Structure 1
Amino acid sequence: MQVFHILVDWFHQQSWLELIGVVTGLLCVYLAAINNIWNWPFAIINTAIYVYIFGHAALYADMGQNAYLLIINIYGWYYWSRQPQNAPKVLIKLMSRKQVLAFILIVALITPVLGFALTQLAPLLHYQPAAYPYLDSFCTVCSLVAQIYMARKVLENWLIWIFVDIIYVGVYLSKHLQPTAFMFAVYAIIALLGYFDWRKEYGTQGKA
């Protein structure tokens, strides 16, 4: 019973807005995994909430990432709603050497620029100093590249997500965003399952 009371007390201390963000985040990922169009409205709610949460936590790169994803999710809902049911299925591909080099260069070049910009812009705009500006920028850039590779059905996108999600768990725990840290831990597990599922499908392509 003591454990139960501790959990109830912890739950009451959490932000309702963050808890809604976690629920909508998990729902949108699950619905996307089963190819359900209703993942998009949940994704829109989730990203809108986290624009505010990450801004309040001074995780400005994450805030910008979610603002970008909010727009992409609105477009995604529109795009999916217009796709015919018999549209050809996109095949899974392995990451090419060119894509590996592109990933390394993009992360290496944009991360320090974005991190430096965050350290300089926050005081100018009278915001609180950016939390972990370079680590936050690194994870954001990795996430945006992974999103592109996911859209192109590159198998290794899931490995990038696993790596980034694990880092995010530590970042959000340090910012006392425990429900969000839990959500990203679940994301990491889903990404691992996604990797094995895509790898299995890749191995059966063209054999039917």
Structure 2
Amino acid sequence: MSLADVLDPLQQPLFTVLDTPVSWTEVLGFGSGALCVWLVARQHLANWPIGIANNLFFILLFTQAGLYADAGLQVVFITLAAYGWWTWTHGSGPGSGRLPVRRTTRTEWAWLLAAGAVGTTGITLLLDRATDSTVPFWDALTTALSLMATYGQCRKRLESWWLWIAADLIYIPLYAHKELYLTSLLYIGFLTLCLAGLRNWSRDLAATGPRPAEVTV
């Protein structure tokens, strides 16, 4: 049995929304993605393996939709998930408890914004010249914002939620434009969960008191 034989059932329509077929891949991506964000908002370690499963489903979905940067982004997310999983359990140092919520430092903001600008520009040019993407800039921008937010999530930086909120506000109309209506609906749910996560992490930070962020490498 080939890989195509295994993946083909996941790509079959399950039901139709607004005359557009919705595949098993999109449904499974919807469910695993919502569960992952819900777990992140509660700082539950299980968000990382659930998130990796979500990334695998979205690789298939976005490749089919021609959102190549978003598909490639999922591979990076899997790598970052492994890093975040380790950081949440070991990032506070030997013998310490769970990694605390902290604020993003000015130095981190400086290199994050610089990397985001360079990444958006570079990915836009790549998609425009090397693929048939019809939305190269928006695909690139959401990719950059998502990577910035994921870094903050791995380090439990409070402001990572604001980056996710910014990305979701673009993702919602972008996926609707690509006729991924269920995924667009999912990101409306993500937006709601991000607001809840921002509130929960803010409360946690307030309860533990202000701390200087550790030096990162």
TM-score range, shorter chain: 0.7 to 0.9
Q: Name the counterpart of 1:156.
A: 159
Alignment of 1:67 onto 2:75: yes
Decide whether aligned partners of structure 1 residues 63 and 156 sit closer, same or farther in structure 2, where only a CA change above 3 A counts: same
Residues 109-148 of structure 1, C-alpha deviations (whole Å, 9 max, x = no match): 12111110112222xxxxxx01311111111111101111
Decide whether aligned partners of structure 1 residues 102 and 134 sit closer, same or farther in structure 2, where only a CA change above 3 A counts: same
Decide whether aligned partners of structure 1 residues 157 and 32 sit closer, same or farther in structure 2, where only a CA change above 3 A counts: closer
Q: Name the counterpart of 2:41.
A: 33
Whole-angstrom distance in 1 between the partners of 2:168 and 2:149:
11
Decide whether aligned partners of structure 1 residues 204 and 121 sit closer, same or farther in structure 2, where only a CA change above 3 A counts: same
Higher strand share: 2
Residues 21-45 of structure 1, C-alpha deviations (whole Å, 9 max, x = no match): 1011112222343444443443222
Question: 201, 211, 214: which one pairs with 1:198?
Answer: 201
SS in 2 for 1:13: strand
Give the aligned length. Answer: 194
Task: Note the residue ranges of structure 1 that are not aligned, 5 or more in a row.
Answer: 1-6, 123-128
Decide whether aligned partners of structure 1 residues 134 and 12 sit closer, same or farther in structure 2, where only a CA change above 3 A counts: closer
Residues 68-114 of structure 1, C-alpha deviations (whole Å, 9 max, x = no match): 2234445666887999xx74232322222222222221122121111
Kindly indicate whether the alpha-carbon contact (under 8 Å) linking 1:57 and 1:131 is maintained by their aligned counterparts in 2.
Answer: no
- Runs of 4+ in structure 1 deviating by more than 4 angstroms, as ranges, are 7-12, 74-83
Whole-angstrom distance in 1 between the partners of 2:26 and 2:200:
30
Residues 1-208 of structure 1 correspond to what in structure 2 (within 5 A)?
13-73=21-81, 87-122=96-131, 129-206=132-209
Whole-angstrom distance in 1 between the partners of 2:170 and 2:43:
27
Task: Note the residue ranges of structure 2 that are not aligned, 5 or more in a row.
Answer: 1-14, 211-217
State TM-score, norm by structure 1.
0.80
Decide whether aligned partners of structure 1 residues 152 and 111 sit closer, same or farther in structure 2, where only a CA change above 3 A counts: same
Kindly indicate whether the alpha-carbon contact (under 8 Å) linking 2:81 and 2:154 is maintained by their aligned counterparts in 1.
Answer: no
Decide whether aligned partners of structure 1 residues 206 and 61 sit closer, same or farther in structure 2, where only a CA change above 3 A counts: same
The percent of aligned pairs where both chains have the same amino acid is 28
Decide whether aligned partners of structure 1 residues 206 and 80 sit closer, same or farther in structure 2, where only a CA change above 3 A counts: closer
* 1:141 partner amino acid: A
State TM-score, norm by structure 2.
0.77
Higher helix share: 1
Whole-angstrom distance in 2 between the partners of 1:101 and 1:75:
22
Decide whether aligned partners of structure 1 residues 12 and 136 sit closer, same or farther in structure 2, where only a CA change above 3 A counts: closer
Cα RMSD after superposing both structures: 2.9
